């Protein structure tokens, strides 16, 4: 466009020069030529000056347009960022809400329906992460670096039961594969945990397990039992999540029944995030939320809960250290 304007102006100036030259051609030839040259020179200079002004004006307008565009882009980016943050907040809120609803629900599913139980396991894996990252109102009872960190909190149900939520972290000298094989050996688990009365596997594949666990009377707690699934999923080669959750099946019977009165407790959600931090060392972060059907005050149970967990971890460590 600039070149077109320049050409038109140049053409008009030439026409003007010719007209002026024609008008004065009767005058002395030398004078005529001098006037023509002067007019042409002045006209060319004027065009150059006008072009400079025009270019400066266009550059200024271009700069203003660029600045305005840049401002609009920055404003749009800010709006997108705010919208993204708002979506993240809503997403987190939805996850927490969904997690609470899922955790509180104990599904009634026939033990043969492994497809539905697998779906429960997959949901539990996703919602377990939301609980592992939540620390509000937890009481720190022990913090010994990677040896043992333990936090706990409680809430009360409408039946006045005290629900325990525990988080703890510890390490073991082993590999992920060895640990998973160890946890699948229910008879070995029973040997290490003397409070276990009966531990049965009612289904097992690469990812899904269906287990029945019965505890003896422990301190202030009468015998309790659990019917639950355990689901395992690798996140990558160096980390895996395993989760457990109770379910109900009215027709279920353990292989070895008991004549003692036993209360069915519920494992609302429990899980481990297991990470291979060194070639022969794993770090385990645990979240456990369980309704043991107890109405005792938290002050009477929290230290006992921590000590029982700590004793069991020591047995795990002794076991793996003995097979190095």
| Dihedral sign computed on CA atoms, order 133, 135, 139, 140 | positive
| Residue in 98, 126, 102 with CA at minimum distance from that of residue 235 | 126
Is residue 264 assigned to a domain? yes
For 50, the token pair is 């006008």
Beta carbons of 271 and 243 less than 8 angstroms apart:
yes
Picking from 10, 42, 75, the residue at the C-terminal end of a domain is: 75
Under-50 pLDDT residues of the chain: 19, 21-28, 30-41, 73, 80, 83-94
- The reported pLDDT for the residue numbered 221 is 82
Is residue 231 assigned to a domain? yes
- The reported pLDDT for the residue numbered 148 is 96
Is residue 71 assigned to a domain? yes
- The reported pLDDT for the residue numbered 99 is 78
- Cβ burial of 3 (10 Å; 0-12, 13-18, 19+) is exposed
Q: Which domain holds residue 295?
A: 119-322
- The reported pLDDT for the residue numbered 316 is 96
- The reported pLDDT for the residue numbered 218 is 81
Domain tally for the chain? Answer: 2
SS3 (DSSP) at 7: helix
Same domain, 160 and 300: yes
Measure the CA–CA gap between 73 and 314, rounded to whole angstroms: 59
- The reported pLDDT for the residue numbered 219 is 75
Is residue 82 assigned to a domain? no
| Residue in 245, 165, 237, 240 with CA at minimum distance from that of residue 210 | 245
- The reported pLDDT for the residue numbered 98 is 75
- The reported pLDDT for the residue numbered 49 is 60
Measure the CA–CA gap between 264 and 225, rounded to whole angstroms: 5
For 214, the token pair is 């019965």
Q: Which CATH number goes with the domain that contains 239? A: 3.30.530.20
Name the pTM for this structure.
0.70
């Amino acid at each position: 466009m600039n070149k077109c304007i320049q050409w038109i102006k140049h053409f008009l100036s030439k026409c003007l020069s010719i007209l002026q030259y024609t008008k004065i051609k009767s005058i002395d030839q030398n004078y005529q030529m001098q006037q023509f040259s002067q007019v042409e020179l002045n006209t060319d200079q004027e065009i150059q000056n006008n072009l400079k002004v025009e270019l400066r004006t266009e550059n200024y307008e271009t700069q203003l347009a660029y600045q305005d565009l840049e401002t609009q882009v920055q404003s749009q980016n800010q709006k997108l960022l705010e919208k993204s943050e708002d979506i993240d907040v809503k997403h987190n809120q939805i996850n927490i809400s969904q997690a609470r609803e899922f955790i509180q629900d104990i599904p009634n599913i026939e033990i043969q329906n492994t497809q539905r139980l697998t779906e429960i396991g997959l949901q539990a894996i996703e919602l377990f992460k939301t609980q592992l990252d939540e620390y509000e109102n937890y009481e720190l009872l022990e913090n010994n670096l990677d040896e043992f960190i333990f936090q706990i909190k409680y809430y009360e149900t409408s039946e006045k039961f005290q629900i325990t939520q525990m988080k703890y972290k510890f390490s073991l000298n082993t590999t992920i594969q060895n640990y998973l094989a160890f946890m699948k050996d229910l008879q070995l688990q029973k040997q290490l945990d003397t409070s276990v009365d009966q531990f049965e596997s009612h289904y097992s594949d690469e990812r899904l397990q269906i287990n029945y666990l019965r505890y003896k009377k422990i301190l202030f707690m009468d015998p309790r039992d659990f019917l639950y699934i355990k689901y395992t999923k690798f996140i990558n080669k160096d980390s895996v999540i395993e989760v457990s959750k109770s379910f109900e099946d009215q027709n279920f019977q353990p292989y070895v029944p008991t004549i003692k009165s036993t209360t069915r407790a519920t494992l609302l959600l429990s899980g481990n995030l297991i990470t291979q931090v060194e070639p022969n060392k794993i770090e385990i972060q645990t979240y456990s939320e369980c309704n043991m059907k107890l109405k005792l005050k938290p002050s009477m149970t929290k230290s006992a809960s921590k000590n029982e967990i700590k004793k069991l971890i020591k047995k795990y460590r002794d076991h793996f250290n003995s097979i190095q």
